[in-house]
Amino acid sequence: MKAIFLRIIEADDKAMALRDSIAVDVPDTRFEVETDDFAAIPRSPFAYWVSEDILTLFRSLSALREVATATVGLQSSDDFRFVALWWETPGSSGHVPFAKGGHFSPYYADVYLTVDWTDDGQEIKAFAETTPGTKHWSRNIRSAEHYFRPGLTWPRRTNGLSFRAMPAGSIFADKGPAMFVVGDEPDELLALCAIANSAPFGGLVALQLARTELAQSYEVGLIQQTPIPQLDDSARTSLVGLTRSAWALKRSLDMRTETSHAFVTPALLQLGGARLADRASAWANQLASVENELAKIRREIDEICFALYDIDGKDRRRIEEGFGAAANEASELDADESDYVPEEVEAAPLVAAMLSWSVGAVFGRFDVRLATGVRQLPTEPEPFDPLPLCSPGMLTMRDGQPVDAPPPDYPVEIPRDGILVDDVGHDRDLAAGSRRVLETVFGEDCDAVWREAAELVDAQGRDLRDWFTQSFFEYHIKRYSKSRRKAPIYWQLATPSSSYSVWLYYPRITKDTLYRVLNDYVTPKLKHEERRLIGLIQEASSNPSGDQHREIVAQESFVEELRRFQDEVARLAPLWNPNLNDGVIINFAPLWRLIPQHRTWQKECAGSWGKLRQGNYDWAHIAMHLWPERVVPKCAVDRSLAVAHGLEDVFWYEDRDRKWQPRHVEQATVEMLVKERTSAAVKDALKSLLEAPAPGIGKASKRKASRGTGARRGQVASRTSSASNRTALRSETGLAPDADLLSKVKEVIAANGEGASKADVIKATGITSGQWSIVIKVLLADGSVTQIGERRGARYHLAGGTT
C-alpha cells in the first residue's frame, strides 16, 4: 500500500506550505512511498524521505553486531560512593579508569573518572545486591567479562554521536557503552572508529530515530543494528592512518589541561612570545590550525566512507544537510555533556592556567623542567595504551609514582609535608613560591611576566598576591570539577577575611597534617603577631596618633582572627584522620569551619559533614574512625559496609549455593570490635567539635596586604569601636599600663580560688578579648600572675596570693 507524506516541518508559514504541497508537486516536500518499505529499517520509523538505495543498505550490508560486540557496562547506583575523579585517589590500586560518557568528542577524550574496583569489585558488587529487585550483582554490573579490554566508547546521550578510543585497563559504564573487536586489534578498532564517526554512519543511525539533530539516546541496540560496509586493504589503511592522526591532534590540545592524563605544560609555556598576550595569540592560532586539520581529516574520512557505502547524489546531500531534522525542539543532556568547557583562547584564562600550574610546581605536583627544556617531552602513547598513573607533566619517580622528594639538583624547593602559607616573608609563602617557579622559567623577564599576569587575571588592578589569596581557590575549585563532582587538591584553610591562609596539598595529607599546621605554622605566626601588637602599643605610648590607633586596632583584630583560627585547628587535629580512598569532599568535610572565606564550598562541606553525622556515608573510613559504635553493627546487616571496613569475614559467609548469608555474632564480639576502634581522645575532640558554637561566615578583605615581613597592616581592621573601649585602649598602650585596670583584673583572679579563666575575667571586668591579651601579657611578664594549663584549660593565679 502506498501513502503520501507532505513535509512542511521547516516552513515558517505551515498553512501556506501545506496548500502549496497539495496543489503542486514541490521537490523534497511531497513523498509517495510503499508503507511496507518502513520495515526495511530497524524500528520501522516513518522515514518517508529515504530512497530505495538507502533501504537497500539495511537489507544487504552486515549489521555492526556481526563485526563487533557492543554492550553497556557498569551502573554504580551510587556514584558519590564508588566513582571519583582520577586525581582524588592517587596511588590507589583499587580505583581504575571509568569511561562514563562525557561530552561530544570523536576519536579522543580523556577518561577522567575512576571507579572503585578493589578486590575485583567486591564492595560495589555487594552493594549492587542490596538494590531493590536485584538477586545478583550482574544486573547492575553488566558485561564484566569485557572490562579492561581496549575498545571504543561513546556517550549514550549527547548532542551528536561520537566514538573515541577507550584505553586498555578501563571499565565502561551504562552511560558510556563500549564496543570491541575479536582479538582486540588496534588497527581494526581505529578503522571501526573512523566509520562510526563518519557522516554516512551517523546518517543511518539517525534514520532509525527518524531525526538527525538534537540530543539523542544512542542505545547499544541502535548502534548494533546499523549497517557497516566491507573494507578493502586500501580503505582500511587510509582510515587507520586518518583516525590515528585525529586522535593525536585532539590529544595534543589536551596536553595543556592540567586535569588531563595527557597534560605536559600549560598552553602559554608551550609557545614562545615576548609577552603573555603574544603567547595567548599564538595559542589561538595553533588551536585554529588544529581544528582546521581535524576538519580536513573528517572530510577525508567521510569521502572514503561515502564511497564504501556507495552513497552519492541526493542521498549524500540529505545526510550532510541533516535532512529529516526536527526543528525548535529542546534538548536534554547528561551532566557530563553539560560540563563541557570550550577551549580557552583568551589571555586571562590562559594566564590563570599558567599560575595554577606554578602552584602545582611549588607543591611538587608538576615538573618545572619540562618548561625549561631540561627534561625532554615524553614520547606519545598509542591510542589504546593503558592510562598512566600520573600525567607526563607530573614530577614522578622512575616507576611513574609521584615523588616523595625532589631529585638531585631540582631547581625548586618542595614542601615535603604538603603545606604552604599565605604569609609575606615566610619561606613557605605560596605567592613567593609561584614567583620562584616563574623565575626558573622566564629568568630575567620574570618581573615583566609577573606584572602582566597580574593585569590580565585581575581587572581590579590588584597584584598577584591578592589574586592568590582572594581568587585562586575559587578558580581552582572550578578547574578541578567535572561530572557534578568537585575535587580541589589545593586546600585553602583561612581566617574569615583571608588575612592568613594555610594551603594543603591533598595527595600528601595525613593524620598528622593538622598538628603540623598548628605547631609549625599557626602557633609561631600567632606568637609573632602578638609580639608585634605589644610593640605597636609600646611604641604608641599613652597618647597614640590616629594612624597608630588604627594600626593597633587592625593588628588587634588580626591577632584575634589568628587565635580563633588556632582554636579551630586545635579542635580538629585530634580527630582528623584522612583516607584518600574516601575522596576529596569527605576528607574536607570535617574542616568546613576552616573555610569561612569561601561560602559556597563551606556550605557543601558542611552539608557533607552533616550527612556523615547522620550516617549517610558510613562506608567512609572516617565514619568508622569517628562513630565505630554506629558503623560496626551496620556491617552485620549490610555486607557492602562490612567489605568496606574489612569485616566481611566476621559478619558474613558464602553458603553452598554461593549466596551470602549473615553470621550469628555474639553481642560481646560486636562490643569488642567497637572498643578496638574507639579512641577516647578522638571522642573527646568530636564532642568538643559538636558542642562548639557555629563559626562566623567570612567576607574576603578588600584591603591591600602589607609588603613588610610583619602583619598585614590594616587588612582586618575593626569597623567600629565604642568610646569606652577607646578609653581603655589608651590606658593599655602606655609604657606603664593603667594601674586601676591591672588592679581590677588581679582582683578578679584573686577572687577565684581555683584559678580564673580568661572568660571569668572578661565577664567580671567587661574588657574585650584584645584588651585581656595585652593585660595578661603584662601581668605574666612582671611576675605578678602565674599561669597553669594551656589554651582553653589555662587558669591564672596571683603570684604569692596577694594583690
For residue 482, pLDDT beyond 60: yes
186-193 mean pLDDT: 98
Is residue 5 very low, low, confident or very high in pLDDT (cuts 50, 70, 90)?
Answer: confident
Question: Could you tell me where the DSSP H helices lie in 170-262?
Answer: 186-196, 199-209, 220-224, 233-254
Q: Are 644 and 608 in contact (CB under 8 A)?
A: no
Q: Are 311 and 54 in contact (CB under 8 A)?
A: yes
The whole-number pLDDT of residue 443 equals: 95
By residue count, the chain amounts to 803
142-160 mean pLDDT: 94
334-354 mean pLDDT: 74
Q: Are 114 and 349 in contact (CB under 8 A)?
A: no
Ramachandran region of residue 420, left (φ > 0), alpha (ψ -120 to 50) or beta?
A: beta
C-alpha cell at 548: 597608630
If one counts every other C-beta atom within 10 angstroms of the C-beta of residue 783, the result is: 9
Share of the chain above pLDDT 90, in %: 66
Name the DSSP class of 784: S
Domains located in the chain, CATH noted: 1-39 (no CATH), 66-332 (no CATH), 396-567 (no CATH), 727-801 (1.10.10.10)
CA 744 to chain centre: 55
When the pLDDT of each residue in the chain is averaged and rounded to a whole number, the result is 87
The residue with greater pLDDT, 463 or 162, is: 162
If one counts every other C-beta atom within 10 angstroms of the C-beta of residue 664, the result is: 7
The residue with greater pLDDT, 777 or 673, is: 673
Dihedral in degrees, nearest 10, Cα atoms 457, 461, 466, 468 = 0
C-alpha cell at 46: 516513518
The whole-number pLDDT of residue 461 equals: 65
The span from the CA of 347 to the CA of 606, in Å, is 35
The whole-number pLDDT of residue 719 equals: 31
The whole-number pLDDT of residue 713 equals: 34
- Unique residue bearing C-alpha cell 577607646: 726
Query: Smallest Cα–Cα separation from 428: which of 439, 440, 416, 438?
Result: 416
501 forms bridges with which residues in the sheet?
422, 494
For residue 699, pLDDT beyond 80: no
The whole-number pLDDT of residue 777 equals: 81
For residue 229, pLDDT beyond 90: yes
Is residue 731 very low, low, confident or very high in pLDDT (cuts 50, 70, 90)?
Answer: very low
Q: Kindly report, residue by residue over 311-338, the tens digit of the pLDDT.
A: 998 889 888 887 544 433 334 445 455 4
Q: Are 138 and 651 in contact (CB under 8 A)?
A: no
54-73 mean pLDDT: 93
Q: Kindly report, residue by residue over 257-297, the tens digit of the pLDDT.
A: 999 999 999 999 999 999 999 999 999 999 999 999 999 99
Which class for 524: exposed (0-12), middle (13-18), buried (19 or more C-beta within 10 A)? Answer: exposed
Name the DSSP class of 793: G
Share of the chain above pLDDT 70, in %: 87
**Coil, helix or strand at residue 33:** strand
Query: Smallest Cα–Cα separation from 386: which of 157, 147, 160, 601?
Result: 147
- List all residues 6 or more positions away from 173 whose beta carbon is below 8 Å from its beta carbon: 72, 73, 74, 75, 98, 99, 100, 101
31-58 mean pLDDT: 73
Name the DSSP class of 578: -
Is residue 519 very low, low, confident or very high in pLDDT (cuts 50, 70, 90)?
Answer: very high
The sign of the dihedral angle between the CA atoms of 743, 748, 750, 756 is: negative
Q: Kindly report, residue by residue over 732-782, the tens digit of the pLDDT.
A: 333 345 677 788 888 888 888 778 888 888 888 888 777 787 788 888 877
Question: Could you tell me where the DSSP H helices lie in 480-522?
Answer: 513-516
Q: pTM for the whole thing?
A: 0.84
The whole-number pLDDT of residue 341 equals: 58
Q: Kindly report, residue by residue over 91-133, the tens digit of the pLDDT.
A: 667 999 999 999 999 999 999 999 999 999 999 999 999 888 7
590-613 mean pLDDT: 95
Dihedral in degrees, nearest 10, Cα atoms 212, 214, 215, 219 = -10
Name the DSSP class of 213: S
Name the DSSP class of 518: I
Is residue 726 very low, low, confident or very high in pLDDT (cuts 50, 70, 90)?
Answer: very low
**Coil, helix or strand at residue 796:** strand
The span from the CA of 428 to the CA of 413, in Å, is 9
The whole-number pLDDT of residue 615 equals: 96
The span from the CA of 447 to the CA of 542, in Å, is 44
**3-state per-residue secondary structure call for 625-681:** HHCHHHHHHHHCCCHHHHHHCCCHHHHEEECCCCCEEECCCCHHHHHHHHHHCCCHH
- List all residues 6 or more positions away from 373 whose beta carbon is below 8 Å from its beta carbon: none
The span from the CA of 384 to the CA of 686, in Å, is 48
Q: Kindly report, residue by residue over 404-461, the tens digit of the pLDDT.
A: 888 889 999 999 999 999 999 999 999 999 999 999 999 999 999 999 999 999 867 6
